[in-house]
Chains A and B, each alone.
Chain A
Amino acid sequence: MYANPNMANAMRYRADYHKESEDTQPEADADLPPPPPSPPTSLPRSTATPDVPLSSPLSPLRDIFDGQHYRRLCQERVSIPSENGEDFTTLQHLYFQDERDVVLGFALDRFTFYKTLGKSAQKTKYNTWSLILINYNLDPTIRTHRKHVLPLGMVPGPGSPKHIGSFLYCLRRELIMLAQGVSTYDRVNHQYFLLRAFLILIIGDMPAIAHIMDMKGHIGKSPCRACLVTGKRDRTNNISKIHYPVHTDSNHQVRHNIQELLNTPRTHQSFYDLAIQIVEAETLASADAQRTRTGLNLMSVLWGLPGTSLSTHYDAPDLLTRY
């Protein structure tokens, strides 16, 4: 990327964007936060960290760089899991500290690649998955053009992959390398530097996101990835689908107060806690009940394990190495 001067100049869009917004709001440039404490016990980013002082809540949201997630990351130090996932190493640099750091977005979708065979279109519809990376350092007008999109791979069909995480293993390994930095030649400044790239955004429709988050999907009992709304099975006919009504139940009450649901969202930490609960479940049946209740799947963690070892204690590194 940075070996080509044209491309290197085009990828200065993020740095220019920051300069532009700093010119309009000079007070936005805050001093660096103090170094974080020793490596955390559970997760590098927990919800216990106080909310970022939003630099400018009234400025318009024009790009991904105005979002809370990006702005929060900009004030944190990079923390990566070690090779076997035993602990986390907090590095010295902040996220997106260098103006050449790359913001990446991962997009996945299913589409009809092969010619549909047979009479039933449903059987052969959506037979392939495509995985691409989008380079957010480029200008929004060109970042989704075909020559700037980075194709990662395709998952051949027919049918969805049973476990999409295994297709992402190489991506995960390379992203951890890129978070530490890869030595690259900068053609514009004529020097070697550490190129860093961070994946901060994942885009897809509901089934795709459900796949990659290992959730039950949009027909589950607790399907939403943002809140803990629950459904109610419709027993009045044989189709017996699950509905998610807000208003009434048989006692003529409001089932869900939307405002309350919005006030208690799912967080990074809560996802992790729920996953740990499933893995630590005593029996298969209770694990299944947990899955239904939480909407998480996590089937893949348990695959290939003898039934007796289910009751043993798994912690984060164990999950990673067994994956």
Chain B
Amino acid sequence: MMHLIFLPGIDFERSFPHDIMHLIFLNACPNLVAWWTGTFKNIDTTQDRFRISADHWKRIGQRIVESMELIPASFIRQLPDISTLGHTYLAEGWSFWLLHIAPYALDGTLPVVYYNHLLDLASITRRAMSYDLSEEEALTTLQDKCTNWVMDYERYFILLYILYFWKVPLRSERYAYNLLFFYSDYTINTRRNGHQHAQQQYMRLFTSQPTSGIVALHGHTGRS
């Protein structure tokens, strides 16, 4: 460190940028898939609503392979079946999968809240990779979107695990309340409003029906 910190031109704050390849394509995308298919770090997710069954996942993989012969080679090389050869995907493959395949292939499969969460990631990535992104936008809008996405990720996927990890007593009376509360909007105001709001949020988010498959017919228009 000390041999670099005095070099002309090196700034420890700005000379070591984080890159989109390692953060999104090789980290967030495989992690999301691992959550859906239940292979994320040996965490038991059989009861979760975002879980996609093995049969269904295999069918999705076959559909992707079948569609590959209709995609021009200038977009992407032939992608293998994600259900069997997902580990061979490179960053290029994950990029195409996130931006062009997943919003269509998973429509009607995931619950609405998880599907919208995926669409959020796709739109963030699309914006970050576009050539007309200005510094103003990157530091305000896009940064806020990323922050919200991370908070949502934790809220939707690992909150149960975190409660366990912080040794919040499970099966206690407070547990149900805690769960509702944590799944709700995470502000102090919500906390004061209390139980009722949290319960409404929970009902809205996690008991809703899956998406209808309309997006696949009419094109990717954002939130459905």
Q: Considering residues B1, B5, B10, B155, which has the most beta carbons from chain A within 10 angstroms of its beta carbon?
A: B1
In the complex, what residues of A have CB within 8 A of residue B6's CB? Answer: 43-44, 81, 85, 88, 316, 320
B55 in contact (CB, < 8 A): no
Number of chain A interface residues as a range: 35 or more
Interface residues of B in 90-141 (CB under 8 A from A): 131-136, 138
Given A168-B3, A272-B5, CB of A247 within 8 Å of CB of B159:
yes
CB <8 Å contact, B1 and A268: no
Main secondary structure on chain A at its contact with chain B?
mixed
Interface residues in chain B, defined as those with a beta carbon under 8 Å from any beta carbon in chain A: 1-19, 22, 131-136, 138, 143, 147, 150-151, 154-155, 158-159, 162-168, 178, 181-182, 186
Shortest Cβ gap from B86 to chain A (Å): 19
CB <8 Å contact, A259 and B147: yes
In the complex, what residues of B have CB within 8 A of residue A258's CB? Answer: 147, 150-151
A120 in contact (CB, < 8 A): no
In the complex, what residues of B have CB within 8 A of residue A138's CB? Answer: none
Given A60-B133, A199-B10, CB of A236 within 8 Å of CB of B164:
yes
Q: Which A residue sits closest to B6, measured CB to CB?
A: A81
Given A58-B134, A205-B22, CB of A236 within 8 Å of CB of B167:
yes
The complex places the Cα of A246 from the Cα of B147 at a distance, in Å, of: 11
Partner of A320, one of B3, B18, B150: B3
Shortest Cβ gap from A300 to chain B (Å): 8
Partner of B135, one of A43, A54, A202: A54
A157 in contact (CB, < 8 A): no
CB <8 Å contact, B131 and A62: yes
CB <8 Å contact, A247 and B5: no
CB <8 Å contact, A271 and B9: no
Chain B interface: which of A3-11, A16-24, A249-257?
Answer: A249-257
In the complex, what residues of A have CB within 8 A of residue B133's CB? Answer: 60-61
In the complex, what residues of B have CB within 8 A of residue A88's CB? Answer: 6
Shortest Cβ gap from A181 to chain B (Å): 12
Interface residues of A in 203-239 (CB under 8 A from B): 203, 205-206, 209, 212-215, 225-226, 232, 234, 236
If A168-B3, A271-B1, A320-B2 are given as contacts, then 14 extra A-B residue pairs at C-beta distance below 8 Å, sorted by A number, are A69-B11, A69-B15, A85-B6, A176-B8, A213-B16, A215-B1, A225-B12, A246-B154, A248-B162, A248-B163, A250-B167, A267-B13, A298-B2, A323-B3
A131 in contact (CB, < 8 A): no
